[in-house]
Structure 1
Amino acid sequence: MQHLIQLLLALLLVGVIAALAVIAYNHPPLTSSPGLLTRLSTYLTRHVAQTEPMSAYPERRLHVYRRPAQAVLEAAVAAARANDWQIQSIDSKHHHLHAVAVTPLWRFKDDVEVWVKTTEDGGSALYLRSASRVGIADFGANTARLVHFRQQIEQRL
């Protein structure tokens, strides 16, 4: 019985170390608001990251630009192509992009969506969503993808 307990504890330790290693590999934000434990909990229990106007996660807050919606969408399409994502659809009329990103390590397919909405002052609000198709945890991959993707969009604007 004691050997079984030791084996189970060893497997648990290996699992925890493996999960933390995958999170470190993905390079998502770890130490900023809302804190390390909340972020680890999120990365281990969620498979979607998306922008929201009042998110507790700074990198997931809605971004507004003083550029027309079409220009922001074009920057997003260029960034998606630069990442070699598979473009599924581009709707210029509704300023929407759907692409598929393939993870480098396990080759999982994740859906990335972009919506650009025109603001009252003529600018644009950028909504991003990245969702894993497999599993219940993304180990921070979707958050890291959104951070990097938004940086690429901003470089093009």
Structure 2
Amino acid sequence: MAAALTGTAAKADAPQFKRGQVVNFASKQQPGSIVIVTKDRALYYILGDGKAVKYKVATAKRGFEWAGSNTVSAKVKWPDWRPPAQMRKRRPDLPAFMAGGPENPLGARAIYLGSTIYRIHGTNEPASIGKAASSGCIRMLNADVSELFQHVKMGAKVTVV
């Protein structure tokens, strides 16, 4: 569902994005970068020329918020999940390991941020999108993160504000 576009660069990029919405977005970030605006619960994949592809996301719940920049260090389809020790302490019912698949909380794709425990990933809880719901990761609908995954490159800059 692309927005009305102007300019030849935006029109050329639009067919590649069927899930995200191409919007006006002023940024000094390089094309291919990602900016996450937590207060808006939105992720912007920068196209350049004042355009970006916008996706709705779930962000960190109170007490788990963070901001900063990192780079994409790995991209994994149907990732396995190993809840961090601090999460398992809060939630002893969680397994130590869960294989990738539709029931896995990381969903269909995961984009890892540097050497942190944070990721941009899909979800098995689509109703959480648009809310402050995670323990710090950025959640997307599985179809949305799958589209983003195709475009984002290793080493791309990700900024959370």
Larger gyration radius, structure 1 or structure 2: 1
Richer in strand (by share): 2
Richer in helix (by share): 1
TM above 0.5: no
